Each structure stands twice: as structure tokens, then as C-alpha cells.
């Protein structure tokens, strides 16, 4: 639930924080922050629900992968995004050990 809250608050920031709008402009993503924020919210909700957890895990992995690549390509630190990605997968494995069988 904590990771879901983190992603929801992050998505809210994409809608409301002027700093996020400036960052997205700097990264050349402009108003894509709205679409990314909506996708982040949907992914976080899917991650929270046990029946759809795997879909949320995969979508959040893609989301965090995009965040990591964006930060890397602009010479910015990306350790926070990497740790969050690891936590998403650890949480997914703890909640659904059958993921290891795939």
C-alpha cells in the first residue's frame, strides 16, 4: 500500500506542481506529464489489487524504466527510481510467490 501511495502522490504532483511541468519541458516531454500521470495512477491501482497485481507490476516497471532512462539521458541521478523499481518487484514477489515459477 505504501508503494501505491507513493505512485499516486507522484501522479498528483504531475498534475499540480509547477516544478514537474518545468522538468517535463526540460526533458522535452511537455504536456505528456498528464498522460504519464494518468498511466501512473492506473498502474498503481492495478498494483494494489491482488487480482490485477501482475498487470500493475508490469506497467509500473515500464513507467520506472522510462523514468530511469529519462534521468540517465539528461545526466541526472537515477538511484531513487532504480530503488523504487526494485521495491515494486520485491513487493510483487512477496505478494505472489508464483511469479518466480514463470
pLDDT, tens only, 20-45: 999 999 999 999 999 999 999 999 99
Mean pLDDT of the chain: 94
For 27, phi then psi, to 5°, come to: -80, -5
Q: What are the boundaries of each domain within the chain?
A: 2-101
In the chain, DSSP assigns E strands to none
Q: What confidence score (pLDDT) does residue 98 get?
A: 83
Give the pTM.
Answer: 0.90
Name the one residue in this structure whose C-alpha cell is 507513493. Answer: 6
Amino acid at each position: 500500500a505504501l508503494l501505491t501511495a507513493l505512485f499516486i502522490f507522484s501522479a498528483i504532483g504531475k498534475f499540480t506542481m509547477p516544478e514537474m511541468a518545468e522538468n517535463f519541458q526540460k526533458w522535452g516531454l511537455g504536456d505528456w506529464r498528464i498522460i504519464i500521470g494518468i498511466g501512473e495512477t492506473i498502474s498503481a491501482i492495478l498494483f494494489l489489487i491482488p487480482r490485477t497485481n501482475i498487470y500493475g507490476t508490469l506497467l509500473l516497471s515500464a513507467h520506472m524504466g522510462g523514468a530511469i532512462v529519462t534521468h540517465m539521458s539528461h545526466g541526472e541521478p537515477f538511484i531513487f527510481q532504480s530503488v523504487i523499481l526494485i521495491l515494486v518487484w520485491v513487493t510483487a514477489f512477496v505478494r505472489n510467490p508464483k511469479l518466480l515459477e514463470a
